[in-house]
Each structure stands twice: as structure tokens, then as C-alpha cells.
């Protein structure tokens, strides 16, 4: 009988613990790392020659929305194609449990807007063989997975379950008995394997009529705030107390409008890591982030574990007018995703509609300047020469207002023109600021959400290829600590995030000089005859999850060795 299942030989080992890289071997047995160093002799079922390659821990992605996609995509792509071996789902307070049978459709409707997941896809793929949170985890446990998965409890389903849909949406303050029931349900979920709780809190407690910081992009399907947006601070403190009583778990919050004292109370009462969402690496936010990062540092000096989640990547947003939901209100009315295609085409050709669109600030068309929005592809021969050019350049060349230039192009293409944008005005100075702060968690992928224009699961590939290799913002040793060990520590993953003997064998083997990701491309591969954009990694010679090879030479092996990590534990073969 072989001593090892797999031996990876002669690789450059970057262990994720910030130790200097070294050349060595890695032996795997029963899904765990059995030996690190120089393995002389010994037999293995398989040997992998890693000469000239980096051997490192798999990446851990703390911010995803694969809650639905896990039921049709074992690789949780784009993440699983880019060296990610573990993800956390249930972010921002969103999820599918607990959900009573009569509200299943309503739960999916919410996700069509706030996370832009196609309804037809969810209807075709989600089995809905649960009502309670533990039952949902059992369902996830049964499906094949090539990536490990750890779940939050989203507060929106809990609020709806306990208060009822109307009262939860109205922001009614729970009674003492209802707070006790919310706490009981969180205990029940964590007993079953949840890792903590999450919330998007961007509105005013008890006032659904007040504006929210997220605006239309982060609203419910009908344009109203989510229940967690109007929940009361006392409810969050009750949920934090559950983690404090248990001595485990962590919190993810999108709540930029919440006072810092409240964040500190949550960290103090829970004793848990609190993930602050999010810090876009925008050059325009450097001063604001300097103040915020200083606050994080002061919190840690007091023993409060508040960490920022950075948006440290800049993959292009690629989209068509068939589906784009980041419009301003007038564009949303005439060209939003809920407008039928034939009506949308008629609107964009209508002079009266165009007059209204021209009256809007141009940034409402593309969430950015028209000199940054570029044409990626067109099916109209008349416009082929404009591929690669910006909207501003096209308008100038044609002597038209940008609105007319784009409407003419999109109508001629029958909505099939594809465009690319940069998200959040991301810039190198902003990225360097976040990379320079040791305790900003890189990311965030939003994997599984905004499927028709965002494929940011390549964030770790970009981090190493762009900001380590190309710009030298970080050492490789520091990068792997930030991309694996730090998120593992925050999330409570047991024995993951570093390469050491006894740890789970979640390992990536890659060609440092060739590491990259492809330009996001459209794929018509979703259930319900829907499409998405995706971006595969390049340079990944091998990815191993729990000791089994799931990716080889950038291709899926269709080996499903991933696991539901209940409470961050388990998963070895």
C-alpha cells in the first residue's frame, strides 16, 4: 500500500504563514497534508512534478452569493476556476432559509434584484426541499461540490420568519419574545453548522420610506428596502449576544451608515471578528479610507476584531442593454431589466424618450464617465469599426450626443452590443492603499451574484498577477497570507488557509509567470436557458480540494471533493 495518496515534488512552497518560500515536497494522505519538506523514498499513488511552480494554500473567498448556484454548479465558477478552494455564502443578510413554502417565490424575487440572479435559473435549479435552516444545509450537503462551502445565516429570512413579511418590511421592532425566537433560530442554525450571521443595513430603523445608502441597486425586487435595512440596532445586538454566548462565529455587515460605536458594540458583545463591507479601491476615496483604516487599527488595539473587506480587484463589468440594472431612475424606467426587449427597443428609438435621457446626467447611463465605457462587440457591420472605442469617442466621431450615439448603436444591434466598464473608479493608488494595510481582507468577488455583468471570482488571480508580479505592491509570502490565512482566521475555518502537516490538503500549484485570468465572456450555460459572464483562470497547473485534484492544467477534472464545512470543520476524504 502506498504511503501517500499524492506527493507534490520539488515545488516552491509558499505556506501562507508568511514564512520565506523554500523548495520542497508535500505529501498528502487521506485528504490532509501528511508531510512537508524533503520526502525521500516513500511511495505514492500519484506524483506531481512541481519544478518551477508555486505550491500554496488554496484561496478563501469570504464574500460570495453562491447560495443558489451551488445547486447547479459544483465548481462555483468563476471562483473555482481561479484557485479558490473554500467560499462563504449567505453574505449581506440574504439567503433562502428559513423560508416557508408560501414565500419561496418571494425569496427568489428578492434575489433577482438585490443580487441579480435570473428567476428562470433559480426556478429550474433550486430543489426547495427545506423550510428550516438545518434542512437547507442538509440539502446543500447532498449536492456534489468541487469547492468547500461555509454558510452564514442571513438576517432577512430570520426577520421574515419571526415577524412576518409585512412587519419585517415595515421595520417593526421585535418584542422581547420575538427577539428570543430570533436568537433561538440563530442558535439552531449554528448548531447545524452556520458560521455566524450577516446583514445589509443601509436604511433607517423602522422607516422603509427613508432613502437607503444602497439605492435602487441594493433594494428589494419592488424597489423597497430589504427588512435588514430597516431593522433596529437592538436586534443586531441580540444576534451578537448569541455569538458571545457560544464563543464562536463571525459577523459580516454592509452598514456604512451605522455609527462606529454600534460597530464596536457588536464586536465587544460578540467577541467575534466583524467584517466591514466594503472598501472599494477608488482613488477618490483615499482620504476617507485613511480615516477608516485608522479606526480599524484603533479597534484592534482595544482588542476589537473589526476587519475591512477590500474591493482590491478591477475586472471589467461586461454587459448588454438586455440586462443592466445600475441605471439612474429615468434610464431604469425606459431600459431597465424589467422592461420587455421589444418595448426597450421602441423606447430607445423614440425621440421623446431620448430627450428625457439626454436631460439626465451622463453618469446615470453607465455609472461612470462616457470616456471610460467602451464597446466590446457588435453584431452590426456598420459599427464594427467602433469596437474598442469609448462612448465619448463614438459620439465625437459621429457628431452626436452620447445618448443618441449609444441608442442608435444598441437599436441597430437589437440590444446585443456588449460594453465594458470599470467598477467603482478603481485605481492603482487606491488598490495600493488597501494592500498596504495588513488587515484588509482582499476581495470581494460577489461570486454567484450579478451574473450578467460581473465575474470577479478572479480577484486572487488578479492580486498575484497584477499587484505582486507586475506592480510589486506586496511580497508573494504576504499575498498568500492575506488571500488564505487571514480570511481563514476571521471565518473560523479549522486547519485551512496554511500549508502545514495535519492541515486539510487544499492546495494550488501554479505557474507564477503565466498566472492570469481571461477577459470575461458570455456563456449560455445556466439552467432555465439563461446566460451569464464568466472568467476562467490561467496558469493553474493543479488545484486540490481535500487532497483530490479538481483542476488540472486549467481544466475541470469533474472530481467533487469539496464539502459543506459545518462550523468550519470537516471535509477530509
Q: Is 304 inside any structural domain?
A: no
Cis before 30? omega within 30: no
475 neighbors 18 (Cβ within 8 angstroms): no
Residue 195 confidence (pLDDT) above 60: yes
Q: How many Å apart are CA 479 and CA 274, to the nearest integer? A: 21
Residue 573 confidence class, pLDDT cut points 50, 70, 90: very low
Q: Is 481 inside any structural domain?
A: no
528 neighbors 112 (Cβ within 8 angstroms): no
Across the range 37-56, mean pLDDT stands at 94
Count of domains observed in the chain? 2
Last residue of a domain, one of 400, 421, 442: 421
Given this model, what pLDDT does residue 299 score?
97
Cis before 389? omega within 30: no
Residue 282 confidence (pLDDT) above 50: yes
Helices (H), 152-301: 155-163, 165-170, 176-192, 233-246, 260-270, 286-301
CATH (domain of 23): 2.30.40.10
Q: Give the least confident one: 54-68, 281-295, 526-540.
A: 281-295
What are 400's three cell numbers?
A: 452626436
Q: Is 145 inside any structural domain?
A: no
Q: Is 263 helix (H, G, I), strand (E, B) or coil?
A: helix
Q: Is 477 inside any structural domain?
A: no
203 neighbors 210 (Cβ within 8 angstroms): yes
Return the closest-CA partner of residue 545 out of 564, 566, 560.
560
Write the CA distances from 384 to 255, 376, 522, integer angstroms: 44, 10, 19
Domain enclosing residue 11, as ranges:
4-58+517-557
Residue 571 confidence class, pLDDT cut points 50, 70, 90: low
223 neighbors 216 (Cβ within 8 angstroms): yes
Residue 29 confidence (pLDDT) above 50: yes
Write a three-state SS string for 175-202.
CHHHHHHHHHHHHHHHHHCCCEEEEECC
Given this model, what pLDDT does residue 214 score?
77
Residue 368 confidence (pLDDT) above 90: no
Q: How many Å apart are CA 226 and CA 540, to the nearest integer? A: 39
Q: Give the least confident one: 47-56, 246-255, 312-321, 420-429.
A: 420-429
Q: How many Å apart are CA 295 and CA 279, to the nearest integer? A: 13
Q: Is 101 inside any structural domain?
A: no
Q: How many Å apart are CA 291 and CA 42, to the nearest integer? A: 55
75 neighbors 162 (Cβ within 8 angstroms): no
Write the CA distances from 230 to 2, 83, 109, 226, integer angstroms: 59, 37, 19, 7
432 neighbors 51 (Cβ within 8 angstroms): no
Q: Number of C-alpha atoms within 13 angstroms, CB side, residue 142?
A: 11
Helices 133-142 and 176-192, packing angle to 10 deg: 20
Neighbours of 264 (CB within 10 A): 17
Residue 369 confidence class, pLDDT cut points 50, 70, 90: confident
Q: How many Å apart are CA 285 and CA 525, to the nearest integer? A: 37
The per-residue pLDDT for range 207-216, each reduced to its tens digit, is 999 998 877 6
317: β partners: 421
530: CB partners within 8 A, 6+ apart? 118, 120, 121, 451, 524
Q: How many Å apart are CA 323 and CA 456, to the nearest integer? A: 18
Q: Give the least confident one: 255-259, 334-338, 423-427, 496-500.
A: 423-427
Q: How many Å apart are CA 249 and CA 454, to the nearest integer? A: 29
Q: Is 468 inside any structural domain?
A: no
Mean pLDDT of the chain: 95
For residue 56, which phi and psi values (nearest 5 degrees)?
A: -145, 165
Given this model, what pLDDT does residue 501 score?
98
Residue 534 confidence (pLDDT) above 90: yes
Q: Is 270 inside any structural domain?
A: no
% pLDDT > 90, the chain: 87
Last residue of a domain, one of 421, 439, 469: 421
Given this model, what pLDDT does residue 40 score?
87
241 neighbors 183 (Cβ within 8 angstroms): yes
Cis before 84? omega within 30: no
The per-residue pLDDT for range 441-481, each reduced to its tens digit, is 999 899 999 999 999 999 999 999 999 999 999 999 999 99
Residue 351 confidence (pLDDT) above 90: yes
The per-residue pLDDT for range 80-138, each reduced to its tens digit, is 999 999 999 999 999 999 999 999 999 999 999 888 899 999 999 999 999 999 999 99
Radius of gyration of the chain (CA): 24
Residue 530 CA to chain centroid, in angstroms? 20
Across the range 157-165, mean pLDDT stands at 99
Q: How many Å apart are CA 199 and CA 123, to the nearest integer? A: 25
What are 100's three cell numbers?
A: 416557508
Residue 341 confidence (pLDDT) above 90: yes
Could you tell me the maximum CA-CA distance found in the chain, to the nearest angstrom? Answer: 79
Last residue of a domain, one of 421, 441, 458: 421
Q: Is 265 inside any structural domain?
A: no
Return the closest-CA partner of residue 533 out of 449, 408, 465.
449
For residue 86, which phi and psi values (nearest 5 degrees)?
A: -145, 140
Amino acid at each position: 500500500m502506498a504511503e501517500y495518496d499524492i506527493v507534490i515534488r520539488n515545488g516552491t512552497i509558499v505556506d501562507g504563514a508568511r514564512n520565506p518560500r523554500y523548495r520542497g515536497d508535500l505529501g498528502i494522505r487521506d485528504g490532509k497534508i501528511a508531510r512537508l519538506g524533503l520526502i525521500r523514498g516513500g511511495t505514492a499513488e500519484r506524483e506531481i512534478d512541481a519544478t518551477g511552480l508555486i505550491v500554496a494554500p488554496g484561496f478563501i473567498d469570504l464574500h460570495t452569493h453562491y447560495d443558489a448556484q451551488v445547486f447547479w454548479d459544483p465548481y462555483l465558477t468563476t471562483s473555482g476556476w481561479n484557485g479558490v478552494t473554500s467560499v462563504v455564502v449567505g453574505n449581506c443578510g440574504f439567503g433562502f432559509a428559513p423560508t416557508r413554502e408560501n414565500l419561496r417565490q418571494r425569496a427568489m424575487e428578492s434575489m433577482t434584484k438585490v443580487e441579480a440572479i435570473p428567476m428562470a435559473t433559480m426556478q429550474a435549479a433550486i430543489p426547495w426541499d427545506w423550510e428550516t435552516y438545518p434542512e437547507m444545509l442538509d440539502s446543500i450537503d447532498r449536492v456534489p461540490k468541487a469547492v468547500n462551502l461555509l454558510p452564514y445565516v442571513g438576517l432577512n429570512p430570520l426577520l421574515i420568519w419571526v415577524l412576518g413579511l409585512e412587519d419585517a418590511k415595515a421595520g417593526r421592532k421585535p418584542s422581547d419574545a420575538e427577539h428570543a425566537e430570533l436568537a433561538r433560530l440563530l442558535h439552531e442554525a449554528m448548531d447545524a453548522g452556520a458560521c455566524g450571521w450577516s446583514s445589509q443595513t443601509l436604511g433607517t430603523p423602522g422607516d422603509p420610506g427613508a432613502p437607503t445608502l444602497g439605492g435602487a441597486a441594493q433594494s428589494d425586487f419592488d424597489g423597497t428596502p430589504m427588512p435588514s435595512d430597516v431593522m433596529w440596532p437592538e436586534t443586531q445586538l441580540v444576534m451578537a449576544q448569541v455569538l458571545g454566548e457560544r464563543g464562536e462565529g463571525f459577523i459580516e455587515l454592509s452598514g456604512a451608515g451605522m455609527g462606529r460605536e454600534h460597530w464596536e458594540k457588536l464586536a465587544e458583545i460578540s467577541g467575534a471578528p466583524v467584517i466591514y463591507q466594503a472598501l472599494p479601491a477608488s482613488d477618490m476615496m483615499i482620504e476617507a479610507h485613511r480615516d477608516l483604516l485608522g479606526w480599524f487599527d484603533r479597534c484592534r488595539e482595544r482588542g476589537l476584531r473589526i476587519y475591512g473587506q477590500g474591493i482590491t480587484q478591477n475586472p471589467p463589468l461586461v454587459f448588454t442593454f438586455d440586462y443592466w440594472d445600475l441605471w439612474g431612475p429615468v434610464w431604469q424606467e425606459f431600459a431597465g431589466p424589467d422592461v420587455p426587449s421589444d418595448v426597450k427597443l421602441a423606447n430607445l428609438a423614440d425621440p421623446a424618450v431620448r430627450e428625457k435621457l439626454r436631460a439626465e446626467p451622463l453618469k446615470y447611463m453607465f455609472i461612470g464617465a462616457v470616456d471610460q465605457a467602451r464597446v466590446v462587440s457588435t453584431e452590426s457591420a456598420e459599427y464594427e469599426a467602433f469596437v474598442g472605442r469609448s462612448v465619448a469617442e463614438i459620439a465625437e466621431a459621429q457628431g452626436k450626443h452620447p445618448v443618441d450615439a449609444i441608442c442608435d448603436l444598441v437599436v441597430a444591434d437589437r440590444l446585443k452590443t456588449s460594453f465594458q466598464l470599470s467598477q467603482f473608479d478603481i485605481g492603482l493608488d487606491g488598490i495600493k492603499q488597501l494592500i498596504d494595510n495588513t488587515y484588509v481582507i482582499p476581495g470581494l468577488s460577489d461570486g454567484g451574484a450579478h451574473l450578467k455583468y460581473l465575474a470577479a471570482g478572479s480577484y486572487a488571480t488578479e492580486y498575484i498577477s497584477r499587484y505582486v508580479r507586475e506592480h510589486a505592491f506586496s511580497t508573494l509570502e504576504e499575498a498568500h497570507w492575506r488571500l488564505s490565512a487571514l480570511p481563514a482566521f476571521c471565518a473560523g475555518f479549522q486547519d485551512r488557509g496554511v500549508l502545514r502537516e495535519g492541515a486539510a490538503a487544499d492546495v494550488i500549484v501554479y505557474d507564477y509567470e503565466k498566472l492570469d485570468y481571461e477577459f470575461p465572456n458570455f456563456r449560455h450555460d445556466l439552467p432555465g436557458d439563461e446566460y451569464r459572464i464568466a472568467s476562467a483562470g490561467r496558469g493553474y497547473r493543479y488545484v486540490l480540494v481535500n487532497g483530490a485534484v479538481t483542476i488540472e492544467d486549467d481544466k475541470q477534472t469533474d472530481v467533487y471533493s469539496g464539502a459543506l464545512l459545518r462550523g468550519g470543520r470537516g471535509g477530509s476524504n
